[in-house]
Amino acid sequence: MRKNKRNKRFVYLISPNKIRCDDFFTSLNEVLSTKKVSIFQLRLKKESIKNKIIVGKKIKKICKKHKVKFLINDDPLIAKKLNADGCHLGQKDMSIINARKILKNKTIGITCHNSINLAKKAIKNKADYIAFGAFFSSKTKRIRYKANLKILKLAKKISNIPIVAIGGIKQNNYKKLLLNNVNFLAISGYIWNNKKLTPKEAIEKLI
């Protein structure tokens, strides 16, 4: 993941909390065909490992077709089993150091909330990207930490590591983050739970 201010593939797409039918895979294929997505993260908190593997195999094929990186949320072991491109870690998940032993040189990113100290630790431990948020209110997950634009400026001063912004990002607020040199925008609800637009229509609004 290289820093690229002109990156047209600035979307870091996160899966919905539940994937129940084949319609999702059709929609995912349509969304990735827009060539706006760099990374897709499978985030199924309440599913069994077996179901994560089944769903993950289908998603991996679609991601490969569209040259999109496929990451697994929370679990480096599942990422290894699926031969995914890497994983995303929360602060309560396995450490980057231990995850690196499992995934070797694959992509490992970590949530840093609104903390420059957590970011410094992640950089020291050689994370491939750092994620800050939530920048806006979100219905996808409970908001425990609020981030602001100042954290982005601080992070840019200490490192060129790619930065992911997360939390309630949608059509009417995403440009503000891109203007502050965020490399990727992690988006979920705006795409998958949009009551007015189909997933493909929603992502096409992000230009």
Over residues 148-189, the pLDDT tens digits come to 999 999 999 999 999 999 999 999 999 999 989 899 999 999
DSSP conformation letters of the chain? ----TT-S--EEEE--S---SHHHHHHHHHHHTTS-EEEEEE--TTS-HHHHHHHHHHHHHHHHHTT-EEEEES-HHHHHHHT-SEEEE-TTS--HHHHHHHHTTSEEEEE-TT-HHHHHHHHHTT-SEEEEE-SS--SSS-------HHHHHHHHHH----EEEESS--TTTHHHHHHTT-SEEEE-HHHHS-SSS-HHHHHHT--
pLDDT beyond 50 at 2: no
Q: Which amino acid is at 115?
A: S
Between these two residues, 46 and 69, which has the higher pLDDT value? 69
Structural domain of 27:
11-204
pLDDT beyond 50 at 50: yes
In a domain, residue 1? The reply is no
Contacts for 113 with CB less than 8 Å, ≥ 6 apart:
91, 132, 133, 144, 145, 147
In a domain, residue 3? The reply is no
User: Which pLDDT tens digit goes with each residue over 191-202?
Assistant: 999 999 999 999
In a domain, residue 4? The reply is no
pLDDT beyond 90 at 21: no
Domain count, the chain: 1
Average pLDDT of the chain to the nearest whole number? 93
Check residue 140 and give its pLDDT.
65
Cβ 131 vs Cβ 165: under 8 Å: yes
User: Which pLDDT tens digit goes with each residue over 94-130?
Assistant: 999 999 999 999 999 999 999 999 999 999 999 999 9
In a domain, residue 80? The reply is yes
Mean pLDDT on 91-95:
96
pLDDT beyond 70 at 6: no
In a domain, residue 131? The reply is yes
In a domain, residue 6? The reply is no
- Conformation bin of residue 181: beta by default, left when phi > 0, alpha when psi is -120 to 50: left
Which CATH number goes with the domain that contains 39? 3.20.20.70
User: Which pLDDT tens digit goes with each residue over 138-148?
Assistant: 766 667 788 99
